[in-house]
Amino acid sequence: MFRPDPSIAFVSAAREQVVALIESINQPQISIPGKLPQVAQGHLCGLRCANGFSVYVSLHLTQSAENVVYAHEPREFPLEEYLAAEAEGVHFLESMGFMLDNLNFRNLAAELQESIFKRAPLFTPPKPRPRASAAAPEPAVASPQRLTALARFLASF
């Protein structure tokens, strides 16, 4: 089962740990509790860990530029359970409307792996939000004489 983990903003892993990387080829609009409905990009990442394997699903919300990361429970499991966990993650993403493409990450050249690793939002730390600028300028207010002239003009029709 996959559960959202708000403490994970991105998947912190080395390229060499990645066993599988599956990404969405579409960007459906999804609704996550506590967030505005918005277009998202989905990823599934299988990792080799010290004590076995882990699988994460990441939803990158394009409007707010944030990741919502779901972790498979238990976090680490043996090789025998990996394929079932990956299939569960694929089903989880497909149930939200994502169409998926397995990138066959392990079979790619190291340079291509590195470029995919850099562009995939699930491996990228969130960018700091820009600070709100000074107060927005007040909209221009028309003088009473101009409003009267406009009202007379519109009344003539």
Query: Distance (Å, rounded) from C-alpha 67 to C-alpha 6?
Result: 9
| pLDDT tens column, 9-47 | 999 999 999 999 999 999 999 999 889 999 999 999 999
Query: Distance (Å, rounded) from C-alpha 12 to C-alpha 83?
Result: 22
Question: Quick one: tokens of 127?
Answer: 């960018």
The residue written with tokens 């939803």 in the block is 59
Beta-ladder partners of 45: 21, 56
Is pLDDT above 70 for 49? yes
The residue written with tokens 């459906």 in the block is 28
Check residue 136 and give its pLDDT.
Answer: 56
Kindly indicate the confidence band of residue 67, based on its pLDDT and cuts at 50, 70 and 90.
very high
Per mean pLDDT, which range of 28-32, 73-77, 84-88, 132-136 is the poorest? Answer: 132-136
Query: Distance (Å, rounded) from C-alpha 7 to C-alpha 68?
Result: 10
**Polymer length in residues for the chain:** 157
Check residue 153 and give its pLDDT.
Answer: 75
Helices within 74-120 (DSSP H only): 82-95, 110-119
- Structural domain boundaries of the chain? 2-123
Check residue 88 and give its pLDDT.
Answer: 98
Average pLDDT, the chain: 89
pTM, rounded to two decimals: 0.79
